[in-house]
Amino acid sequence: MDQIKIGSFLKQLRKEKNLTQENLAERLNVSGRTVSRWETGSNMPDIGMLIEIAEFYDVSIPEIINGERKSESMTQETKDTAVKMAEYSKNEAKSGKRQIIGYMAAAFGIFIIISALTIFPSDSSWGSIYSVFGSIVLLTGVYFIAGSLSVKLRTRILSVALCAVLLFGAFAVSDYLAVTQFGRVPRFSYARMYNSQRENEIVHRTLFFTAVQKDPGTSFEQVEIIKDYSPRYHLNGDQIRLTIRFDVKEDIGRLLMDFDIDGKKESGSMSGDDNVIKSGAELHWAFNEQNFDSSLDEVDMSLRFTVVTEPCEPGSDGAYPAEYTMPLDEVFLRAEVGCDYLITVSGDKTSGYRATLEDSYS
């Protein structure tokens, strides 16, 4: 292709129309400098612009490329072919951009996942949070890459779904290896439970196994997988046990409790590690013959709970700051000696908290 010859031909066509380079530039919506480069042969118009130039000068694409007239006008077939070529060129450019964006997003997602698993300790929730975020970025990249290779939406969705399954499996295997080979707690647990009667144990539940962390934070710390774990212990025949499950939207500091058992009043409180009760935790409180008449088979109980929303210490009068305390409605039950009763504390700071008697376990 002789660019100088093409430029001279374009210059000839412009002069036949009695136009200056600036006049033509305005007609084609380009700069005068661009027109000058075309006519000197230092630069060539792209395929889309060639179509406009051919229509404007009433010549064919091959005539422009050859730098001379061969027919009177551009045929419709030639025009259609050129239009399709222009569309194909634009689609290829878009596809190339999508592919580049996809590879960059996938690489960035992998970088976030590796960084999260490397930087944050296994017992930090930030590791799992950033890993999930990195997975979303990676899946977005996979979607763009699949889109650049295939126009079918079904293929893109299947590619993303397959990648998501592989990521899910990789996280599950990494958790299992972390517990069994390195004695670390699983990162991707959906529940972490604390037990007031086993203060040296934290239970981590994942979708595939349950791990118990014994003596956390000490030199004797151990993490192991167990098949069956029940946070409720065997009750003596003269005990009444409360299992309190915290289904709260955010962690709280402490739960204050006032009990009335057949007229005998008692109070207490419970909290978790670092004076924080985690969402999903289960804590326990037991009553024995010192709290009620052991000769009875059933007792009437009224329970008043108060949530301390933040980790804090009581004042000199033993009371917690009023701005951090939220009392709950009273709970009544007819309790049978030798049973374990489940009470769920739910809610949040905005809408308030509530205590609900759920079930009993004999």
* Class of the domain covering 3-74: mainly alpha
Mean pLDDT of all residues belonging to the chain:
83
Bridge partners of 193, per DSSP, are 203
Domain 233-361 falls in which CATH fold?
Immunoglobulin-like (2.60.40)
Which tokens is 63 given?
């005539």
Which tokens is 313 given?
């210490």
pTM of the entire predicted model: 0.46
Residues 130-157, mean pLDDT to the nearest whole number: 86
Residue 126 to residue 269: CA distance in whole angstroms:
29
Domain ranges of the chain: 3-74, 97-182, 233-361
Residue 259 three-state SS: strand
* 233 pLDDT more than 50: no
Report the pLDDT value the prediction gives residue 262, as an integer from 0 to 100: 84
**Worst-scoring range by mean pLDDT, 23-32, 44-53, 114-123, 315-324?**
44-53
Say what angle helices 125-149 and 76-119 make with each other, to 10 degrees. Answer: 160
User: Is the distance from CB of 18 to CB of 58 less than 8 angstroms?
Assistant: no
Which tokens is 283 given?
């804590």
What one-character DSSP code corresponds to residue 314? -
Residue 157 three-state SS: helix
Q: How confident is the model at residue 218 (pLDDT cuts 50, 70, 90)?
A: confident
Report the pLDDT value the prediction gives residue 93, as an integer from 0 to 100: 60
Segment holding 127, helix H or strand E:
helix 125-149
Cα–Cα separations (whole angstroms), residue 296 to 202, 260, 261, 264, 339 = 35, 16, 12, 14, 13
Report the pLDDT value the prediction gives residue 82, as an integer from 0 to 100: 58
Report the pLDDT value the prediction gives residue 198, as an integer from 0 to 100: 58
* 236 pLDDT more than 60: no
Report the pLDDT value the prediction gives residue 305, as an integer from 0 to 100: 95
Report the pLDDT value the prediction gives residue 89, as an integer from 0 to 100: 58
- 156-197 pLDDT tens trace: 889 899 999 999 999 999 999 999 998 888 988 877 776 555
User: Is the distance from CB of 54 to CB of 60 less than 8 angstroms?
Assistant: yes
Residue 317 to residue 62: CA distance in whole angstroms:
96
Segment holding 292, helix H or strand E:
none
Residue 185 to residue 175: CA distance in whole angstroms:
8
**Worst-scoring range by mean pLDDT, 83-87, 232-236, 293-297?**
232-236
Residue of 230 and 112 predicted with greater confidence:
112
Residue 137 to residue 153: CA distance in whole angstroms:
19
Report the pLDDT value the prediction gives residue 145, as an integer from 0 to 100: 86
